[in-house]
Amino acid sequence: MPAFLIATLVPVPLLLLAALAGGGWGWVALVYLTGFTALLDALLPKNWQNQPLDQPFIAGAGLQVSLGLAHLWLVLVAMRFLGGPGGAETWSEVLPAALAFGVYFGQVSHPDAHELIHRPSRDLRRLGRMIYATMLFGHHASAHPKIHHVWVASPQDPNTARLGEGFWRYLPRAWRGSFLQGFRVESQDLKRAGRTWLRHPYLGYLLTAALCLGLAAAFGGLSGLAIYVGICAFAQVQILLSDYVQHYGLQREELAHGKLAPVGPQHSWNAPHAASQAMMLNAPRHSDHHLHPGRIYPGLQLDAGRMPMLPRSLPVMATVALFPGWWRRVMDPRVRAQQASPPGTARQ
């Protein structure tokens, strides 16, 4: 737990200083979250250690709630002080600070919300949904467990990238597809349960988003609204980059009777890099999450013999994915090698 605590909580005071004090603190926070984390991933030994599964991981659950509450607080701080009086005011101060907030929301708040929406507690799931809704991405809380986990590594999943598909083509397809399919399945579940449309999750997502947009405008006018929307858009790009990188080109086999083969360890890309594992609450241990969606993050396992590994850390590969030609040169040969491997094994 110390690694998770340090990696996720140390950026919080840096973000507060970036918003409240301005100056060079925005660059400090941004460099810490990006360059410094990448440097640590390169220097530290890779983390292949698996924790025993008989542990309750009580502290892990406590950190989830703390990060969720910290996120909601940081959203209000960003609305009030980025571009507003008493905080970072000039664009040379606001831009790096806004980018740093976006990186934190995309690489810490998102993995936290992702964990929360998989928890058995209704209150924890509600907190996860609220985090996504404050990033104007509430539908992800519906589409991820009900669409992505059901159809991952198949053409039916809008968040699984196809071999040869560049990120910028994938982005609108995944965003639109997950929104529409999430709405469809939630509507079907609502009708099946005999509940009123007032209980539709999408109504909650939209109302929360409208409240956040109103607060941003009230705090900072049109410029404050633009800054908030920009931070959310940047966070959403990172969320979709994670999905793109973690499933690129991997497909489940279609069985003789037309059904898909069960999800296996070979259907997600993973990364053993210590610093980004800690910052992203073990999200790079992605195969085990799909095999055991209810398993809390400290207990996620890594197996190099069965799980495909990315050549670099997840954040670095997400950066590579922004350049489709470079991405395909790096990843397409690895996908083809993985496709040629026996089921349940990984080619590194």
Q: What is the pLDDT of residues 271-284, one digit of tens each?
A: 999 999 999 999 99
Q: Can you tell me the distance from the alpha carbon of 221 to that of 243, in angstroms, rounded to the nearest whole number? A: 34
- Residues 47-53: contacts with CB within 8 Å, 24+ apart? 47/272, 47/273, 47/274, 47/277, 47/302, 48/272, 48/302, 48/304, 50/301, 50/302, 51/298, 51/299, 53/295, 53/299, 53/301
Does residue 51 sit within a domain?
no
pTM, two decimal places: 0.94
Is 254 part of a structural domain of the chain?
A: no
Model confidence at 31: pLDDT above 80: yes
Number of domains in the chain: 1
Cβ neighbourhood burial of 333 (10 Å; 0-12, 13-18, 19+)? exposed
139, 178 in Cβ contact below 8 A? yes
In a domain, 89, yes or no: yes
Domain assignment present for 253: no
The reply to whether 348 falls in a domain is: no
Q: Is residue 19 part of a domain?
A: yes
What CA–CA distance (Å, rounded) separates 228 from 135?
9
Give the dihedral sign, CA 325/37/78/87.
negative
Q: Tens digits of per-residue pLDDT, 142-185?
A: 999 999 999 999 999 999 999 999 999 999 999 999 999 999 99
| Domain that includes residue 310, residue range | 2-46+57-247+259-339
Let me know if residue 345 belongs to a domain: no
Return the H-helix or E-strand segment holding 68. helix 58-81
In a domain, 347, yes or no: no
Query: What is the token pair recorded at 165?
Result: 């598909």
Which of the four pLDDT bands, split at 50, 70 and 90, describes residue 346?
low
Q: How far apart are CA 63 and CA 65, in angstroms?
A: 5
**pLDDT of 56 strictly over 80:** no
